[in-house]
Chain A
Amino acid sequence: MKKLINDPDDVVDEMLDGMTATYPDRLRRLPDTQVVVRDDGPVDDKVGIVTGGGSGHEPTHAGYIGDGMLDGAAAGDVFSSPTADEFEALIGACDAGDGVLAVIKNYEGDVMNFETAIELAEMEGAEVESVVVDDDVAVEDSLYTSGRRGVCGTILVHKVAGAKAAQGADLGEVKRVAEKVVDNVGTMGTALTSCVTPEKGEPTFDLSDDEIELGIGIHGEPGTERTETMPADEITEHLTEAVLDDLDLDEGQEVLTIVNGMGATPQMELFVVNRRLQELLGEHGLETYDAWVGDYMTSLDMAGASITVCAVDDELKELFDAPADTPALTTK
């Protein structure tokens, strides 16, 4: 399989250097690490917001570093958790003395490495809290997790926690709003093709031309169901119904939605999906407060999409509306 890379062993390193070269006035890399932080950080009088995880999900994670969102992010190798010492360096670099919130996606390696780093940072006197995002409604246990996986809903946690921190809220308040998102968000995805990791160079799973996989994660791990391919409207119905079943929202509830491309899906198709998604929300008596469409959390070159629905109240709406200025997401 053709890839626009040099050596698979260098791909993360070269990507990070490329990112800082693209945004030299915004992003800076901590020496001898795969940690990227705000160039002007740590920001005084503000809780630091940090995250991290395997690479291959770009623009997640470093793409969301900036005003109103993240202060820094640790990048692991492709689909592998960063190590605890990298998370520890990240926390230290983003702590201006007002505490740090770690946003962790629910994968065993991410959770254990981040928790170890948090405990080490606390031994050094840092104040650190964490939230674990587990928005994937498709599976209870997967190849990489106990419990549900953390996927695209994590971006909404970054946004809300980042906005709250930018307003000068204390660590407890920032954690509270982050957890509010975690409690009110659900996601489900589908793959039309597998992704190809740089290391392996071939599809992670076989999917024939007339099959799709429902309930996929973001690492090429298998989904919950393999079916014959269907028109976009039907696929959208499967994903939406699964998410809404899980969230069990009252009629009239306002929601923020994301149609997220998995890396190799044309925007054209994402908009086709969003068209049907919005119709379905109407049929369920739900009101769309905001609809996002784009590549927010990808799985390398997988073709497919995920649908995220987050119930919002006045507090969350205000935080979603608050300014953010990052390479991958801007709100004015």
Chain B
Amino acid sequence: MTEDGAAAVAAVAAVAERIEAERDHLTELDSAIGDADHGGNMARGWAAAAEAARDLDDPDTGTVAKTVGKTLMSEVGGASGPLFGGSLVFAAAELDGGVDAETAVAFAETYLEKVEDRGDARVGDQTMVDALTPAVHTFKKSIETDDLPPIEALAKAVDAAERGVAFTVPIRARKGRASYLGWRSVGHQDPGATSTLFILEELLAVAADRLGVDAPETDATSPTIPDEDPDEGASEDD
């Protein structure tokens, strides 16, 4: 197995473990504004994806990403299947030539583009896009403009995603099932943005582990949300 491919398989296993650990948390977030199935669907999908990735024979990273995408697409169901999984299948093609800073940026941008197009959502709609967009833009800027090493760019992206998750709380849902609640969606943290953050956090942890460095400090400071339970505002540290 290529070193990158092995790291990718480890990353998928870590995400699956994290999503399983957060299953009830995600379900709780979703039950407030949706149909309470995000935790269960994502946990089932990522468990299957981890198994499928583990079963691959000497894969490169692109193959791992494609396999995970296909598995999520068939196992998660609903709208999350095409959003989390379908987008990954398309983005995986960017890794065909191997993984470096440049292809990683292309991968991230294609993933974001597919999620935005498929969900017809933009920043401010209270969806996963609110975490994903700032993460991808920050990653790209950190690599291309600030010339940071990829691991530090990824840490900045996690920060940005964390702020994005907090940003979903005070805004009104305009896409996804929560949008049917109209103004009642205000004050709720988006489950899809939250699971997006968890995925990015695990990618960072595995990447740091592989490089034998401590994960760079993430230093997101959540905006202050009046009258909100602080536990609900930002991501949970666990």
Q: Residues on A close to B: CB < 8 A? A: 80-81, 83-86, 108-109, 112-113, 115-116, 119-120, 141-143, 146
Contact = CB atoms under 8 A, between A and B. Distances in A.
Contacts of A85: 70, 73-74
Given A84-B81, A85-B70, A141-B180, A115 B175 contact: no
Interface string B77-94: 111011101100110000
A83 B74 contact: yes
Contacts of A146: 120, 175, 179
Given A83-B77, A85-B74, A112 B83 contact: yes
Contacts of B119: 112
Closest 4 CB pairs of A and B: A116-B86, A116-B82, A112-B82, A85-B74
Say whether chain B's binding surface is mostly helix, strand, loop, or mixed. helix
Contacts of B75: 83
A115 B77 contact: no
B184 interface: no
Interface of B: 70, 73-75, 77-79, 81-83, 85-86, 89-90, 118-120, 175-177, 179-180
A161 B200 CA distance: 45
Nearest to A81: B78
Contacts of B176: 108
Nearest to A141: B180
A112 B175 contact: no
Contacts of A120: 86, 89
A119 B79 CA distance: 16
A108 B180 CA distance: 12
A141 B182 CA distance: 11
Contacts of A112: 79, 81-83, 86, 118-119
B86 A84 contact: yes
Count chain A CB atoms within 10 A of each CB in B73, B82, B83, B90 and give the residue with the most: B82
A142 B77 contact: no
A108 B34 CA distance: 13
Contacts of A115: 82, 118
Given A84-B82, A112-B119, A142-B180, A119 B90 contact: yes
B185 to A, nearest CB: 13
A66 B186 CA distance: 48
A10 to B, nearest CB: 17
B57 to A, nearest CB: 21
A72 to B, nearest CB: 18
Given A116-B73, A119-B90, A83 B179 contact: no
B175 to A, nearest CB: 7
Contacts of B78: 80-81, 109
A84 B87 CA distance: 11
A113 B180 contact: no
Contacts of A142: 180
26 contacts: A81-B78, A83-B73, A83-B74, A83-B75, A83-B77, A83-B81, A84-B81, A84-B82, A84-B86, A85-B70, A85-B73, A85-B74, A109-B79, A112-B81, A112-B82, A112-B86, A112-B118, A115-B118, A116-B81, A116-B86, A141-B179, A142-B180, A143-B177, A146-B120, A146-B175, A146-B179
Contacts of B180: 141-143
Contacts of B179: 141, 146
A109 B83 CA distance: 10
Contacts of A83: 73-75, 77, 81
Given A112-B82, A146-B120, 17 more contacts: A80-B77, A80-B78, A81-B78, A83-B75, A84-B73, A84-B74, A84-B82, A84-B86, A109-B77, A109-B78, A109-B79, A112-B79, A112-B81, A112-B86, A141-B180, A142-B180, A146-B175
Given A84-B82, A109-B79, A116 B74 contact: no
Nearest to B118: A112
A88 to B, nearest CB: 9
Contacts of B177: 108, 143
Contact of A116 (B77, B118, B175): B118
B77 to A, nearest CB: 6
B90 A113 contact: no
Nearest to B71: A85
A15 B74 CA distance: 21
A247 to B, nearest CB: 26
A83 B82 CA distance: 8
A260 B119 CA distance: 32
Nearest to A144: B177
Contacts of A119: 86, 90
Contacts of A113: 81-82
A81 B41 CA distance: 14
Count chain B CB atoms within 10 A of each CB in A85, A116, A120 and give the residue with the most: A116
A109 B37 CA distance: 14
Contacts of B120: 146
